[in-house]
Amino acid sequence: MGEIKYNTKQREEILELLKANRDRCLTAREICGMVKAGEATVFRTLSALAKEGTVSKFLSGGTPTYQLNECGAHHEHIHLKCSECGKLIHSDCSFIEELEHHFEKDHSFKVDRSKTVIYGICSECGRGGGQKK
């Protein structure tokens, strides 16, 4: 299934799940558990979607995870990921442009927002001293 030709329930369900979790990263395993589709289908679908650019694959705490790429390369936001609770925050503010501008101007480096993740501690965890492990 290198390229997508037909639409199927399975793929739709996987996409629905990813949409419902736009702000989280899901592992392949989690997706398998949440969808009525076989493992092979999940992996095949995810890799087809990743190839298309519809989803992105990240490394979250050592484990590969997938997340909808609701933007294409041209959306005005970047991801902040909390190392404590795992939350993925979408930062939409205009600072991103400044950031891109800086790296492009001073380092000739074209930032790819869709892949970049800034790690740190989110407001909740920073305040409360962290919740989960």
> Footprint of its own copies on this chain (CB under 8 A)?
47, 50, 57-59, 62, 64, 80, 82-83, 89, 91, 93, 95, 99, 102-103, 106-112, 115-123, 126-127
Measured between alpha carbons, how far is 60 from 41 in angstroms, rounded to an integer?
Answer: 22
Candidates 9, 22, 101, 102: give the one binding DNA (CB under 7 A): 9
Measured between alpha carbons, how far is 45 from 54 in angstroms, rounded to an integer?
Answer: 11
* String of contacts with DNA for each residue 43-82, x by CB under 7 A: xxx-x--------------xxx------------------
**What is the nearest approach in angstroms of its own copies to the Cβ of residue 125?**
9
CB atoms within 10 A of CB 106: 8
Measured between alpha carbons, how far is 65 from 79 in angstroms, rounded to an integer?
Answer: 14
Q: Which residue has the tokens 């891109």?
A: 100
**What is the nearest approach in angstroms of its own copies to the Cβ of residue 89?**
7
Candidates 27, 104, 109, 124: give the one binding DNA (CB under 7 A): 27
Please say whether the beta carbons of 118 and 80 come within 8 A. Answer: yes
HSE-CB at 74 with a 13 A cutoff on CA atoms is: 0
Instruction: Please tell me whether residue 41 binds DNA under the rule CB under 7 A.
Output: yes
83 touches which of its own copies, DNA, none (CB within 5 to 8 A by kind)?
its own copies
Q: Which residue has the tokens 């205009």?
A: 94
- Residues of the shown chain interacting with DNA in the complex, contacts defined by CB under 7 A: 1, 3-11, 27-29, 36-41, 43-45, 47, 62-64
